[in-house]
Structures are given as C-alpha cells and as structure tokens.
Amino acid sequence: MLSQSLLLGVITAVGLFSNSFSENSKVYPQTPPVNNTEINSYAQAVLAMEPARQHAFEEIKKMIGTGEIPQIICNDPNSINRLPQKAQDIAVNYCVLSQKIVQDNGLKSDRFNQITMEIQNNNSLKQQVYNTLLRLQQTPDSR
C-alpha cells in the first residue's frame, strides 16, 4: 500500500515525467469540470503507470550517473533529445506505454493532460484524486 506522502509524490511525478502524451495536444481556454468517472479513471491510470515510471526513471538515472535527470515531457522532442540515445529509447517506450495505459483506463491523452494540469491548480480536485488513489490502494478489486 502506498503511503500518503508517496501518493502525492506519484501525482507530482506523473505531472513532471509525463506532463503530455500526444503529439497534437491542444490547449483549451477552459477545462471542463472533472467528473467522478474521470477521477477514478485518472487514478487507475496513475497507479498502473507508476511502476513503469519508476523503472524508466531508475534506468535513465543509471545511464546518466550522478547528473540530474532533466524533466521529460513526452510530446516535447527537445526534452527527450537531451538524453543519451539509450535513455531516449527508455523514455519513448515509457511514453508509448503510458499513453496506452491512459487509453486502457478510459481517458484520451488530451483529457488526462487536462486533468493533470487542473490538479496542479485545484486543491479540491487534488484531494479527490488523492482520496481515490487511497481507496484504490485499499480495495484493489475495485479497479
């Protein structure tokens, strides 16, 4: 079971490591409200992609060594191109897997990204996602 501080770290890390997935993400002037179904889908996707994110991060960290790992944004080729070639492959594989996980959990990549951005600015939504993550961790059969 994830601890409370780790859950908040997961949300933050997902926002940092995979802020965007699709090549043609759109910016919307106003994000539509996030409903309970989307919160549940978002939380399930975050939990499903976390082991892959941790693995990718650790593998890239090994390749870079003592240097700091730059922020990796899946739809920003420059953020990936700053990595060594093998690390680029790991990052791209993670991005592709994450996009599939998001879609498998009933969200489009653009909507996942909108929710991620909204969480950073909306404490109420952040708390709802956090509570959903806790609930899913306590009752894994509800996924």
The band of 83, judged by pLDDT with boundaries at 50, 70 and 90, is confident
Higher pLDDT, 126 or 15: 126
Q: Tokens representing 126?
A: 């952040």
Question: Residue 85's CB: how many other CB atoms inside 10 A?
Answer: 8
Return the pLDDT at 26.
Answer: 47
Does residue 111 register a pLDDT over 90?
yes
**What span, in angstroms and rounded, lies between the C-alpha atoms of 100 and 123?**
27
**What span, in angstroms and rounded, lies between the C-alpha atoms of 76 and 100?**
18
**What span, in angstroms and rounded, lies between the C-alpha atoms of 107 and 22?**
12
Calculate ∠ Cα 119-120-123, nearest 5°: 65
Does residue 20 register a pLDDT over 50?
no
Residue closest to 38 by CA, chosen among 114, 99, 122:
114
Return the pLDDT at 35.
Answer: 96
